[in-house]
Amino acid sequence: MKVSCLIGSPRQNSNSAAIAGRFAGTAASLGAEVETFVLNQLSYKGCQACMACKTTSDRCVQRDDLAGVLESMKQADIVVMATPVYCSDVPGQVKCFIDRTYSYMPPGYLQGVPSRVPAGKKLVFVITQGAPVDELFADIPKRYQDFLKRSMAFGETFLIRGIGVGAGGAVGVPDQYLQKAEEIARAIVKA
Neighbours of 82 (CB within 10 A): 31
pLDDT for 172 equals: 74
Instruction: List, in order of start, the domains of the chain with CATH numbers.
Output: 2-188 (3.40.50.360)
Q: What pLDDT is stored for residue 170 in this prediction?
A: 57
The predicted model gives 84-99 an average pLDDT of 95
Q: Write down the pLDDT at residue 190.
A: 81
pTM: 0.94
Strands 33-38, 121-129: pairing is unpaired
Task: Give per-residue pLDDT as tens, 108-157.
Answer: 999 999 999 999 999 999 999 999 999 999 999 999 999 999 899 999 99
Taking only the tens place, the pLDDT of each residue in 162-189 is 999 976 555 678 999 999 999 999 999 9
Neighbours of 88 (CB within 10 A): 11
pLDDT of residue 167: 64
Q: Determine the pLDDT at residue 100.
A: 97
pLDDT of residue 176: 96
pLDDT for the residue 139: 95
CA 123 to chain centre: 7
Give tens-digit pLDDT for 3-59.
999 999 999 889 999 999 999 999 999 999 999 999 999 999 999 999 999 999 999
